């Protein structure tokens, strides 16, 4: 095999590994009980940080009634939002 062929195969394998990592199960909006700017509580009341800004933005657009624009531990909103 030539150096050029080896380099191309290495790049293709690297690209495949990266795309496989992104193909892992993603964000499930059906498992969000309450969402905040910095993350969300799932239906079992476990805290999760947003893995991607896109997940947050998509959830905020689709479920504005369950999304709060402040951080989950913001003292100024504690009484407004009992979880």
Within a domain: 60: yes
List 48's β-bridge partners, or say none: 40
Range of the domain at 27: 3-77
Cα–chain center distance at 44: 17
- CA distances, 35 to each of 51, 80, 81 (Å): 13, 14, 11
Tell whether the model's pLDDT for residue 23 goes beyond 50: no
pLDDT value for 2:
76
pLDDT tens-digit readout, 24-73:
358 899 999 999 999 999 999 999 999 999 999 999 999 999 999 999 99
Within a domain: 82: no
Pick from 67, 22, 2: nearest CA to 41: 67
Q: What is the total count of domains within the chain?
A: 1
pLDDT tens-digit readout, 62-73:
999 999 999 999
pLDDT value for 80:
55
Higher model confidence: residue 6 or residue 55?
55
Within a domain: 83: no
Pick from 44, 49, 37: nearest CA to 81: 37
pLDDT value for 26:
82
Q: Do 38 and 49 meet the contact criterion of CB atoms below 8 Å apart?
A: yes
Within a domain: 68: yes
Does the pTM surpass 0.85? The reply is no
């Amino acid at each position: 095999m030539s150096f050029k062929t080896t380099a191309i195969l290495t790049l293709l394998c690297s690209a495949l590994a990266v795309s496989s990592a992104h193909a892992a199960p993603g964000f499930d909006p059906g498992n969000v009980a309450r969402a905040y700017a910095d993350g969300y509580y799932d239906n079992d009341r476990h805290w999760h940080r947003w893995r991607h800004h896109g997940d947050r933005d998509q959830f905020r657009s689709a479920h504005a009634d369950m999304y709060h624009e402040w951080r989950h531990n913001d003292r100024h909103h504690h009484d407004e939002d009992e979880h």
